[in-house]
């Protein structure tokens, strides 16, 4: 069979398009996992009321003063709200002094968060606020933005002026390097509950919480992506601050925690069917589809991770940990996937024996 130059160019260009785009389809689904964590330790006898002091917030210099002040107050508000929720929903005996009143008293006495963990200051503040302990926090927020180059393909010559039996020029593609943008947000929190002598009752300084937001140029007829294409930074800072705050509060009162994931199927048909089953809350079918996809390709890390999430949704945390470990150990992962899989593995390792089984 003979093809003209134009048709040949058309086929070559179409082949390139398939190679770039891929021949399979994927499905996506946003999932939120929630459960109640039991506290890790009992509070000292006689400790019934605490006061929450506005957070100290440090940044890398790119955050404005208003934003720093805002997150200082939001973090303290979150702690107060979570302690209240533990009392109302889970019967926790701990109460919290209302921050509107405590802030007013602190301002009148010219007391600030800095220095309150030292003995005399802590004792004076606690007695003034009529509480047995103070909660302070230190939030270190760092935002890093990086640009990189990505190849964008343009198919404008694909349909050229060649045609069936006419010759006269074939199809073709051109490419150019365009900017991709990525923003890495890191929160390093430190929380403390101190008694009247300024001694720590609880200290919590976890590993940094990270969130990556990235945008790539489109594959065809693309344009460069800039910082304006990224989601608002406060959206991600808020997510990280809440995550760190809930982890801390769960150390001393029952606390509900939430973790959200965007699940993506592999290009395996069963993997995509598993995502569709998840959308319908059909967890048994979803597990069967993901297992089938994984049996077909033992390196299908997306299906392994989806199996971990589905196992959590059905309360099987041992199985979830197994699949998260499996996904994290697979080759060929990009940085985002490594970060997500390892974080899920570490979270379940730490939490699974503390999860309230009735929820």
CA 11 to chain centre: 42
24-34+259-359: CATH number: 1.25.40.10
In a 10 Å sphere around its CB, with 0-12 CB exposed, 13-18 middle and 19+ buried, how is residue 46 labelled?
exposed
Residue 221 gets the label, from left (phi > 0), alpha (psi -120 to 50) or beta, of: left
Give the residue-averaged pLDDT of 56-65.
Answer: 64
Query: Would you list the domain boundaries of the chain?
Result: 24-34+259-359
Q: What is the pLDDT of residue 171?
A: 55
CA distance 170 to 39: 69
Higher-scoring residue by pLDDT: 212, 200? 200
Helices and strands (H, E) in the chain, number of each type: 10, 9
Going 335 to 345 to 306 to 294, the CA torsion angle's sign is positive
For the chain, give the percent of residues with pLDDT over 70: 69
Query: Considering only CA atoms, which of 217, 273, 215, 211 is closest in space to residue 242?
Result: 211
CA distance 308 to 325: 9
Lowest-confidence region among 116-130, 253-267, 320-334 = 116-130
Give the residue-averaged pLDDT of 168-180.
Answer: 60
Taking only the tens place, the pLDDT of each residue in 311-349 is 999 999 999 999 999 999 999 998 889 989 999 999 999
Taking only the tens place, the pLDDT of each residue in 69-105 is 788 788 889 999 999 999 999 999 999 988 777 766 6
How far CA 72 is from CA of 57, 122, 253, in Å, comes to 6, 19, 22
Lowest-confidence region among 115-119, 173-177, 349-353 = 115-119
Lowest-confidence region among 73-87, 169-183, 206-220, 318-332 = 169-183
CB 170 within 8 A of CB 5: yes
């Amino acid at each position: 069979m003979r093809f003209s130059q134009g048709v040949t160019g058309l086929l070559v260009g179409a082949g390139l398009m398939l190679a770039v785009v891929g021949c399979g389809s994927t499905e996506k689904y946003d999932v939120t996992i929630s459960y109640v964590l039991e506290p890790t330790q009992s509070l000292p006898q006689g400790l019934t009321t605490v006061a929450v002091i506005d957070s100290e917030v440090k940044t890398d210099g790119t955050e404005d003063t208003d934003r720093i002040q805002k997150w200082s107050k939001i973090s303290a508000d979150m702690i107060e709200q979570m302690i209240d929720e533990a009392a109302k929903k889970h019967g926790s005996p701990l109460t919290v002094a209302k921050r509107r009143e405590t802030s007013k008293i602190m301002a009148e006495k010219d007391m600030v968060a800095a220095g309150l963990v030292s003995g005399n200051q802590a004792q004076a503040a606690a007695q003034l606020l009529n509480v047995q302990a103070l909660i302070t926090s230190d939030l270190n927020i760092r935002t890093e933005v990086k640009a990189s180059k990505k190849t964008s393909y343009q198919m404008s010559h694909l349909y050229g002026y060649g045609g069936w039996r006419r010759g006269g020029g074939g199809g073709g593609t051109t490419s150019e390097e365009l900017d991709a943008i990525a923003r890495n947000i890191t929160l390093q929190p430190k929380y403390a509950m101190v008694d009247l002598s300024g001694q720590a009752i609880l200290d919590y300084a976890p590993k940094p919480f990270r969130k990556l937001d990235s945008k790539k140029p489109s594959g065809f007829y693309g344009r460069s992506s800039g910082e304006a294409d990224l989601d608002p930074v406060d959206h991600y800072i808020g997510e990280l601050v809440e995550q760190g705050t809930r982890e801390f509060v769960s150390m001393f009162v029952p606390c509900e925690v939430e973790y959200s994931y965007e699940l993506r199927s592999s290009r395996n048909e069963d993997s995509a069917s598993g995502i569709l089953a998840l959308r319908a809350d059909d967890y048994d079918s979803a597990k069967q589809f993901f297992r089938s996809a994984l049996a077909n390709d033992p390196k299908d890390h997306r299906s392994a991770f989806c199996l971990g999430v589905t196992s959590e949704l059905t309360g099987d945390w041992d199985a979830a940990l197994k699949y998260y470990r499996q996904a994290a150990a697979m080759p060929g992962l990009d940085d985002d996937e490594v970060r997500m899989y390892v974080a899920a593995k570490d979270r379940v390792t730490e939490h699974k024996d503390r999860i309230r089984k009735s929820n």
